[in-house]
Structure 1
């Protein structure tokens, strides 16, 4: 896969088109001006909850204003991430973040007003049938009545919440553009600039000694910035803790559970099942060592895939493979998948200055979401397209089947759409009849569970402990975070010491710690996705039909009710046990095929 030094070198066909959010500079300024002008009008709606006609006008006004802000938010977020060294993009991003903070501040009167209504007053609003379509949205706010604030307190909470997005930007900027990881001379004599986005690729193509050298070089730089990232993470957690207290919750975790309307038992069941089966984590690492021919698996070895897949895919070949693999999802799904490419919704290529990782971003009132990734031609990148396209197609279905107010979903359901695609792709590869491709497919499925169930539980546990420490008056220093990571790694690997001190660097590199208890969502979703994919692959039309309905569910349906569409009970350990059994069978199958 051709490498690029800057965004200017990337062919236009491999760049995303952001014009559905903002057409051009003129449109950007027009949207900014529209928001500024209408922010001033929000005060005209003070008292609107006392009158159904005025409330309806407010809802219509707020949806239009919020929709414009969503487009600006998505546009500037993506514009900044495509080139973190672009000062103009940074300025636009900060301008929009300031407007978002102002919007939250100026509209902060609404929730206290709504919650101040008696139950009778609240229900009487809906005698006006034109308000019924907003009832689910308003119910979601009204149920926070026991956690209500005065208008002045709400403004303080809004100002705090408005700052939360800046901390992940600090981490991303530090890791992607503020430092120099140096140059690497590979075994064939070629020299490459080491970056966060090509680190894994360079590791995978190198022999063991060179891998170790790259690992130490990369992590020594990360380690230098650990204290700064710790400050950002500490402040992020402290703000979440403060917000929880302001809204009368005992903890940030309690606030999270209340917001997603799930009992703690769901997460206790998940974590207990994964911890009970941690022998599978050890079994997987033993298998990896055996496959790689190593007596002891070191951190610089763990980046290697179980299957040695030397095949390199072009972007066009990846697209063709995915159309074939996802065929069991049906023609309608594939037409939505095709739309992603037709609308130039993916920014494929890697270069210095582009943010690392992969994600899908969308706006509630816009059909087409966008996908950022760093395609370097390996199978993992093909799987990444499958994953992020799952989010994108899910969003398309939601927008097509819900009014704008409800055209979003919860991460606890959204990740099912992405991970189901990856499992289906893995199954397709494992059944092509070629041994190497079969091993690649099995390896990919193993890695999905390793990262998204076991790994996410490990990191989710670390995150819970971070919040516990801050809530008890402590602070998150680099040394303390190192210690949390070390204890969890040792626990899940039945070890007494780390293989290398740089294993502690995990928290520095994990952007999800800046997404407030998002990690457990992966574990729940991956467990459900393994069940869905298995049934779809086996031709279970009932499950496929339920799944396609599940993809259309908007935010007016609770997480618990959404999973009922799939006949899944999240409090029952069965779904998690089946996922771990599936993981066990994949490990055995891989060994069997490898030795055949």
Structure 2
């Protein structure tokens, strides 16, 4: 019944009576219209083999340029053009191999093809390892003169500039070789030990639920049962799970401290002021962007506390506890969609991005961009692969017909269109883009979908579901991820001051941050002492200042989407914000990420993007409270 109401509200946007395709047992049972067309890359596996053989024959050509890059502008261009051509072909090889493997991981030939492709990539990496050191050894003025002399080098200027700006942080070739070996052989050890221990060796506890059921409380079970609607079960799950982690905080503290010491090694040999600066400089991100995010979150903790008080009210509890944060506060609604309905909704939601964007995405849906349906052996999850430069992007989904699946399609379509426009507008050497801007494209599409759904949905139950889901996502992305970012920055600063990191002092720090963020001292949300060990559960702390980008991407996309909507709703509609955003999607790496965003009207060194996200979060809470007030 709810689906009929929703369809009527959307004025025919959804097609009634279409049966949702059942999940196929085998890929052969999936309708071809729901499968991606990898034949657009290579017609057959044999064609892939022929291309691999051809590329392998070409790789030795790079040796002819070794020691000669500074010889002339023409030689430098020839070397970089050969480099880019080989890189493009190897990326094509790897993409095809990875995606054929992902569509059925049971087939040994698919795995063998992927491994063969990775071997070619390794051969290529070794063959071109001299490129960067040789360019760095050149006088920047000499490189500038060569670019001015040879017009064909213009496309390579961003690539060359990005290498040369690292000159002050680069060692001699012999020293670079030592550093590469040290980091290559030992750099990933802490993460590897952590992964093996937590995934394979950790003796997870057994929890008896109030139903009498006994559950082995590993990470997957914790994720499931922390959202239980039974509060007593949640309490048992949290106590047992974090109690077990607490038993191993000395071991896990040692692995994380080892990772931090590796980052300090990089800071020292690269001559940076801090580990944070060393990490962010890879994409030329100013340190103040990271610190601005943390400052903005602290300034807006009252918004988080309002959310927590709203959650307490909706749950009907006298005291909100940390154990209550994952239980749903909204009633599930039966929203089901076919792939056709999902594509139609996504296209309609993206209408504010203009007819050219919509036409390209529609054509992509119709021409084999998306692999929709789950099947036996298929990789789980979802992704977009835009690495096949002269073909088109590809999306892997596991579509089951829920609203979350529609949102995932919109999300991955944002990535796909980012790749499509960047590949279309940029030469290969600058067609890629960093993670700092990548998630802007995906989360902006999610924002557009949410607002489209709200615009066309009238019943309160569905609106509460949509609003509640969006609100909790903002809480976790903006506040929880920034808490992680602050913890990560602080433990590095402690180690840089010569302080030893241990499971105990990291737990004390994490508990302090938890209680500050969640208003424990103000009675907003009670946090048990035991939960200070949660840091030991987060694998992202081994990723070297990665998590902050989840929050910055969401603030940037919220800011841009809000500006696009404002312009479209003005008495005299304009497209300045939309056009600037399309420019961002088309820019690739022709500029540094922070500058690409500035061109789109977003200055990440200011509070404006975060303030836009807080306005969105406040509007959502206002409407939820309005709906709840009608139920009294």
Which whole-Å CA distance do the structure 1 matches of 2:218 and 2:405 have between them?
17
- Matched residue of 2:559: which SS? helix
Q: 1:158–1:61: structure 2 CA closer, same or farther, 3 Å change rule?
A: farther
Which stretch shows the higher mean deviation, 17-26 or 392-401?
17-26
Which whole-Å CA distance do the structure 2 matches of 1:245 and 1:28 have between them?
44
1:405: Cα distance to partner?
0.8
Matched, 1:270 2:293: yes
Which residue does the alignment assign to 2:548? 520
1:145: Cα distance to partner?
1.8
Which stretch shows the higher mean deviation, 573-582 or 56-65?
573-582
Q: 1:304–1:356: structure 2 CA closer, same or farther, 3 Å change rule?
A: farther
Cα displacement string for residues 251-273 of structure 1 (whole angstroms, at most 9, x for unaligned residues): 33212333333332222222111
1:550: Cα distance to partner?
2.1
Which residue does the alignment assign to 1:248? 271
Which residue does the alignment assign to 1:11? 30
Q: Assess if the C-alpha contact under 8 Å between 2:245 and 2:533 holds in 1.
A: no
Matches within 5 A, 1:427-442: 427-431=451-455, 432-442=457-467
Which stretch shows the higher mean deviation, 150-159 or 326-335?
150-159
Which whole-Å CA distance do the structure 2 matches of 1:375 and 1:166 have between them?
36
- Matched residue of 1:49: which SS? coil
Matched, 1:134 2:181: no
Matched, 1:292 2:315: yes
1:427: Cα distance to partner?
1.4
Which stretch shows the higher mean deviation, 61-70 or 195-204?
195-204
Which residue does the alignment assign to 1:147? 169
Matches within 5 A, 1:392-471: 392-431=416-455, 432-468=457-493
1:559: Cα distance to partner?
2.3
Matched, 1:121 2:142: yes
**Residue among 295, 320, 325 paired with 1:302:** 325
Matches within 5 A, 1:372-383: 372-383=396-407
Cα displacement string for residues 130-155 of structure 1 (whole angstroms, at most 9, x for unaligned residues): 22221221111112221222222333
Structure 1-normalised TM-score?
0.83
Structure 2-normalised TM-score?
0.79
Which residue does the alignment assign to 2:564? 536
Unpaired segments of 5 or more residues in structure 1?
Answer: none
Which whole-Å CA distance do the structure 2 matches of 1:354 and 1:279 have between them?
44
Q: Assess if the C-alpha contact under 8 Å between 1:368 and 1:396 holds in 2.
A: yes
**Residue among 558, 564, 579 paired with 2:592:** 558
Cα displacement string for residues 200-249 of structure 1 (whole angstroms, at most 9, x for unaligned residues): 67876865566667778988998999999878766655555444433333
1:393: Cα distance to partner?
1.0
Cα displacement string for residues 26-56 of structure 1 (whole angstroms, at most 9, x for unaligned residues): 3454454445444444332112322222211
**Residue among 64, 68, 79 paired with 1:48:** 68
1:477: Cα distance to partner?
6.9
Which stretch shows the higher mean deviation, 451-460 or 151-160?
151-160
Q: Assess if the C-alpha contact under 8 Å between 1:197 and 1:374 holds in 2.
A: no
Which residue does the alignment assign to 2:350? 326
Which whole-Å CA distance do the structure 1 matches of 2:251 and 2:99 have between them?
24
1:493: Cα distance to partner?
0.9
Q: Assess if the C-alpha contact under 8 Å between 2:95 and 2:388 holds in 1.
A: no
Q: 1:86–1:436: structure 2 CA closer, same or farther, 3 Å change rule?
A: same
- Matched residue of 1:551: which SS? helix
1:185: Cα distance to partner?
12
Q: Which structure: larger Rg?
A: 2
Which residue does the alignment assign to 2:516? 491
Which whole-Å CA distance do the structure 2 matches of 1:344 and 1:421 have between them?
20
Cα displacement string for residues 349-381 of structure 1 (whole angstroms, at most 9, x for unaligned residues): 668987665443331625433444554544333
Which residue does the alignment assign to 2:608? 574
Cα displacement string for residues 5-34 of structure 1 (whole angstroms, at most 9, x for unaligned residues): 987698365565555556654345445444
Which residue does the alignment assign to 2:127? 106
Q: 1:541–1:53: structure 2 CA closer, same or farther, 3 Å change rule?
A: closer
Cα displacement string for residues 72-92 of structure 1 (whole angstroms, at most 9, x for unaligned residues): 444555566667787766666
Q: Assess if the C-alpha contact under 8 Å between 2:229 and 2:327 holds in 1.
A: no
Which whole-Å CA distance do the structure 2 matches of 1:260 and 1:5 have between them?
42
Q: 1:258–1:592: structure 2 CA closer, same or farther, 3 Å change rule?
A: same
Which residue does the alignment assign to 1:70? 91
1:403: Cα distance to partner?
0.7
Q: 1:81–1:245: structure 2 CA closer, same or farther, 3 Å change rule?
A: farther
Give the paired residue count. Answer: 595
Cα displacement string for residues 316-359 of structure 1 (whole angstroms, at most 9, x for unaligned residues): 24333323322222322222333453354445566898766544
